[in-house]
Amino acid sequence: MSENAFEVPLNEADGHLPDVINAAAQRHAIAYLTDQGRRVAAIVPSDEAWYWTSGWQSAEAEADEDIHEGRTRSFATMDDLFAEMDAVRAEDLP
């Protein structure tokens, strides 16, 4: 399991849910509540919930595919990157 996630059995969380919520917020981690080893709920810190929206996850999947397929470029400097972005932007103008 990732270092930014942890599991808490429901029977241990019973009566201690505020502590679990605080731990998730302080660690910037997802707390998975489990029942007999099966994840039944997730507590996600509110400032990180955007990452788990369907739109963001779709964009993450697209980026992963681009990386896997080699559709990426590297630049020696930030100036080179910005020059490329300006060139692409200029191509898109009418």
- For 28, other C-beta atoms within 10 Å of its C-beta total 10
Residue 4: name the closest of 23, 15, 72 by CA.
23
Structure confidence at residue 94 as a pLDDT band (50, 70, 90)? confident
DSSP-derived secondary structure letter, 76: S
42-51 pLDDT per residue, tens: 999 999 999 9
Per CATH, domain 5-92 is 2.40.50.100: no
The whole-number pLDDT of residue 90 equals 92
Domain boundaries, the chain: 5-92
Res. 58: pLDDT tops 80: yes
Sign of the four-CA dihedral 7, 17, 28, 50: positive
Q: Is residue 65 very low, low, confident or very high in pLDDT (cuts 50, 70, 90)?
A: very high
DSSP 8-state code for residue 94: -
Question: What is the mean pLDDT of the segment spanning 67-83?
Answer: 97
Distance CA 32, CA 39 (A): 6
